[in-house]
Chain A
Amino acid sequence: NTMFSTSLLRVGSKLIGLLLTRKGHFNTLGLRNDFGFPPGLRTKTFLLGPTTKMNLFQSVTSALDNTLASDPTAVIFGEDVAFGGVFRCTVGLRDKYGKDRVFNTPLCEQGIVGFGIGAAVAGATAIAEIQFADYIYPAFDQIVNEAAKYRYRSGNLFDCGNLTIRAPWGCVGHGSLYHSQSPEAFFAHCPGIKVVIPRGPVQCKGLLLSCIADQNPCIFFEPKILYRAAVEQVPTEAYTIPLSQAEVIQEGSDVTLVAWGTQIHVLMEVANMAQEKLGVSCELIDLQTILPWDTETVCKSVAKTGRLLISHEAPITGGFAAEISSTVQEECFLNLEAPIARVCGYDTPFPHIFEPFYIPDKWKCFDAIKKLISY
């Protein structure tokens, strides 16, 4: 299994971090900062063509710009996308491509996704934005019962593969109950859709373009805390990163760490801490696609190391780590040296004032590694 297909760009690029790295969980902006996005090799991508320094929301804009330019049927819609969106992901697109291609919808998530499914079935490349992943639930029926099952129930006569739904995702430091959720586990339980989560601008653009090109309805969750904080040199031309391929960001021999989105950066720090303080070599894997997920890469890694730690912000019961854990113990039972560790959010609603205690921060993950090693 080649780690990078030809369409994947590989570059040993320097990454410029902009987050303040102060001690403690939150910086003065109220943003979570128990991890950094410092210079260093975080992503293996080839430099193909010119690149520009972009943060995460700019990489989204770039991907959408490429799409609207090359695909005349592409349309972008959602709440407040016309002026640029509440996270600036669609800035400038309406002026460039016209108000019949980038337009606002009223406040109706169920309507937005239903409408998007219809547009996709009719042949348009429909890119719907849900303003926060926390608001996606009115559209849950449309996604699970309509979008996911369209091809199956019509015997391949119809499909809404042209649909992509984007939503800001994950905790941000001050979001509390309804601006911090990570609902990927709800959708992982639904065959027929794809769920994708990038960890930085280069992956974001490549994965988003893959989702748009993919002939299945895709949900693309964008870690909102990284919108401004994650800055990289991103190619300006269009490129794709394959779906359902996990990426081994750092090779190691003792412990496999699996995560996606923001948590990758937390685990990167944990891996460094483990190396310095415990002499433990960690292999860090970014799952990238939650559904369908790359079992082969993860299992191969666990077969090598014998220990697995999975981490996500969503509550532990029924979180996606449970699925990974279950599959890995089936495939790699005799390779395991210790029980699989899951470091996740508590089984509570995402809290208001208790957020620093709730999130699976690097110290909790480090503690878990210590226990894995000493089992």
Chain B
Amino acid sequence: MSLVVASRSYADFTPEATFDIKKVDLHRLEEGPPLTATLTREEGLKYYRTMQTIRRMELKADQLYKQKIIRGFCHLYDGQEACAVGIEGGITLSDHLITAYRAHGYTLTRGGTVREIMAELTGRRGGIAKGKGGSMHMYTKNFYGGNGIVGAQVPLGAGVALACKYLGNDQLCVSLYGDGAANQGQIFETYNMSSLWKLPIIFICENNQYAMGTSVERSAASTEYYKRGDYIPGIRVDGMDVLCVREATKFAAAHCRSGKGPILMELQTYRYHGHSMSDPGVSYRTREEIQEVRSKSDPISMLKDRMLSNNMASIEELKEIDIAVRKEIEDAAQFATTDPEPPLDDLCSHIFANDQPFEVRGATPWTKLTSTS
């Protein structure tokens, strides 16, 4: 027996609304991003759907990992969705982005599909890196991964930014790293190079308070990560509010594109899961702390409340999005579990770039495999 519910026409909804957002902290800047942000209904629904997709995808990955369908290392992004979605809202897909290993969210916002991401986690041929990279090594156009070695991706980002400047295409590169990586020497080398050559690079430190199990106070002489660029202007942003992140990114992008050189953004955010799936996440922080962040600052709830209280969407509509997202994730998980693994030839493919296939020495003197590219 079906129940007919009178649906509201979309003309009833507020097409756009302006919200006050938190003031950012500034370093070597006279002005910062605006104190208000305008959100249209379409943008709101898009951000909601993307953040919900990331959230559900990460929770599904958690489930699959516990079922031992995903193995190896898996670093989940739930809690930090506002960062990925907000950043993408401030740049375009023709800009470039590079991050560290907590990369599933960025793979999605940068154009990957949930199917490809999940199949990569399970190591199947339908994966976004053909099953050869795994959780930490996912790539799409203008998204340079997905990098395992902490801090190593930041100088790479500067190189990409140099290419942008050299080619004069008005693009920029967003180079992300975490609070733990902020203590790596190569980050400071990159600050110097990009400032010297005025590269269009936005450094973003995703400060989720803990580097694995080490809290920021215990590992950093200065926890004001937005100031650590010294001569590079910096802003510290509330990373749990997607609108804050978006406005800050727009501001930073404008700064870079005007030729002023690099800028540093610190996003204060939080991850609900532990560092990786082998970390329960409660030996160095209390469950109460996690609960508090979930109840007070959850990025998806914040957006949802804003949209509902300003009549920009209905509860039913958002529920429909939730259901659609759940289905998408289920389909993707199904694909990820049933897709075949890459063929054994792939073991030796793409080691080098080569015109002719060449021989790769195998485990024993008489085992030779062929490497193709």
Most chain A CB neighbours (cut-off 10 Å) among B68, B214, B284:
B214
Cβ–Cβ contact A107 & B366, under 8 A: no
Instruction: Assess whether B68 is in contact with A30, with CB atoms less than 8 Å apart.
Output: yes
Complex CA distance for A364 and B181, rounded to whole angstroms: 40
Tell me the nearest residue of chain B to A345, going by C-beta. B363
* Docked-complex contact A348 and B351, CB < 8 angstroms: yes
Q: Which residues of A contact B185 (CB under 8 A)?
A: 108, 110-111, 138
Contacts of A178 in B (CB 8 A): 136, 148-149
A359: chain B residues within 8 A (beta carbon)? 363
B211 touches A341 (CB 8 A): no
Segment of B225-233, B324-332, B339-347 in the binding face: B339-347
Chain B proximity of A108: nearest CB distance (Å): 5
Task: State whether B137 touches A177 (Cβ < 8 A).
Answer: yes
Which residues of A lie under 8 Å from residue B364 when comparing CB positions?
Answer: 341-343, 360, 364, 367-368
- In whole angstroms, what is the CA distance A371 to B365 when docked? 10
A30 to B360, CA, bound (A): 27
Contact B214 A346 (CB under 8 A): no
B212–A354 touching, CB < 8 Å: no
- Minimum CB–CB distance from A150 to chain B (whole Å) comes to 21
Known: A80-B213, A343-B364, A354-B346. A107 touches B150 (CB 8 A): yes
| Neighbouring B residues of A220 by C-beta, 8 Å | none
A-B interface pairs (CB < 8 A), number: 120
Determine the interface band of chain B, counting residues with CB < 8 A from chain A. Answer: 35 or more
Q: Using a Cβ–Cβ cut-off of 8 Å, how many residues does chain A contribute to the interface with B?
A: 46
Instruction: Determine chain B's interface SS by DSSP, over half rule.
Output: loop
Does the CB pair B344–A80 fall under 8 Å?
no
A325 to B278 Cα, complex, angstroms: 40
Residues of A with C-beta under 8 A to B369: 346
Interface of A is mostly: loop
> A residues engaging B (CB < 8 A)?
28, 30, 79-80, 83, 86, 104, 106-108, 110-111, 134-135, 137-138, 174-179, 316-317, 339, 341-349, 351-354, 357-360, 364, 367-368, 371
A-B contact pairs, 27 of them (CB 8 A): A80-B213, A104-B219, A106-B180, A107-B184, A110-B185, A137-B149, A138-B184, A174-B71, A176-B73, A176-B134, A177-B136, A178-B148, A179-B73, A316-B361, A316-B362, A342-B365, A346-B363, A347-B351, A347-B360, A351-B347, A352-B72, A352-B132, A353-B131, A354-B342, A354-B347, A358-B363, A360-B363
